[in-house]
Amino acid sequence: MPDFPSLNGLRSFEATARLGSMTRAASELGVTQSAVSRALSLLQAELGFPLFLRTKPSIQLTSSGEAIFVELRHSFDRMRTLLARLRQDQNAYGLTINVLPTFALRFLIPRLPAFKAQHPDMQVDIVFGEQAIDFALDAVDVGIRYGNGDWPGVKTYRILDEELVIVCAPRLLEGRTAIDPGALRPEQLIRHTTRIEAWPEWFENLHLPTPTPAGLGFEHFFMVIEAAVVGIGFALLPRFLIRRELENGDLVIASPHILRREQGYFFMCSPLRRSEPKILAFRRWLQGELAALTAEGRPLEM
């Protein structure tokens, strides 16, 4: 006889004794009745004594079976309580953030050590995404998205407006301090393929004819930034994403005109969870970081 009987047999026994039926036990455990019957037979063989009296239709426990059931029930209840608490603790101290790729790379990740310093026990996971988030189904606590803030069934907080500036590698200015917007050729305009409306808005805002951008296209802002740095063409980019390139001279602002769009960046979460301590803590920290970024902003210099 083994020192300890099989856990599968004990689970089958506890469920059968508690529910008074192998059929109901099988349903709860997600197995067939014959599987429960086999598990009980093996368990009794391992123990070397019977657990059930041969009575019908109800199941009756032997004195040994009753003693084991009482202990098992208490042990299983304690384990269920422990697991529930551990899951709650994990949920309380784990934060999963679904964020736009370039926002994460350029803004969030460099600042996360400061958040972790304030919340050293919180496990933070970052996942990239651009699609809509279903907080009832997706394993996500909060999200950061760009748009109008009108996502259905989601609580949103506008955290940042967007200012788009036209930039390029310094050599493309050819000694000038600024370009003539009306002289830009379509093939010089780097396209952000998920923001195709931005260039037409910029030209319309200047009351200029709108060319059809025909430069290379890129899916993400971090790709557009790199394309501009290597001199592929002119790019229309959010100023807060390119502070480093502007400061070190990899990019220069090619026109003083700024396009301020109605859309912006939004913090989002489930309406039912917006007051959870971990979500509230991250939102307030993020808003503070963005407020500091805005306060540090300097006038554009040509």
pLDDT digits (tens, 9 = 90+) for 155-206: 999 999 989 999 999 999 988 889 999 899 999 999 999 999 999 999 999 9
63, burial (CB in 10 Å: exposed 0-12, middle 13-18, buried 19+): exposed
55 vs 205, more confident: 205
Q: Is 2 contained in some domain?
A: no
pLDDT at 302 over 50: no
Q: Could you give the number of structural domains in the chain? A: 3
Q: Is 301 contained in some domain?
A: no
Is the preceding peptide bond at 299 cis, omega within 30 degrees of 0?
no
Q: Are 47 and 195 contained in the same domain? A: no
Q: Are 189 and 255 contained in the same domain? A: yes
pLDDT at 169: 97
Q: Are 55 and 114 contained in the same domain? A: no
Q: How far is CA 276 from CA 22, 91, 149, 270, 283, in A?
A: 42, 11, 21, 10, 11
Which residue, chain included where needed, has tokens 């500036």? 165
Q: In whole angstroms, what is the distance from residue 200 CA to residue 206 CA?
A: 10
Average pLDDT, the chain: 89
Q: Are 267 and 254 contained in the same domain? A: no
pLDDT in tens, 236-278: 999 999 999 999 999 999 999 999 999 999 999 999 899 988 9
pLDDT in tens, 64-74: 999 999 999 98
pLDDT in tens, 101-147: 999 999 999 999 999 999 998 999 999 998 989 988 888 999 999 99
Q: Are 20 and 85 contained in the same domain? A: yes
* Mean pLDDT value of segment 146-150: 93
Which residue, chain included where needed, has tokens 């189904």? 137
pLDDT at 298: 42
Lowest mean pLDDT among 84-93, 98-107, 138-147, 211-220: 84-93
Domain range for 140 is 94-160+263-296
Q: Is 225 contained in some domain?
A: yes
Q: Are 177 and 258 contained in the same domain? A: yes
- The helix or strand, by DSSP H or E, that contains position 94, with its residue range, turns out to be strand 94-99
Q: Is 302 contained in some domain?
A: no
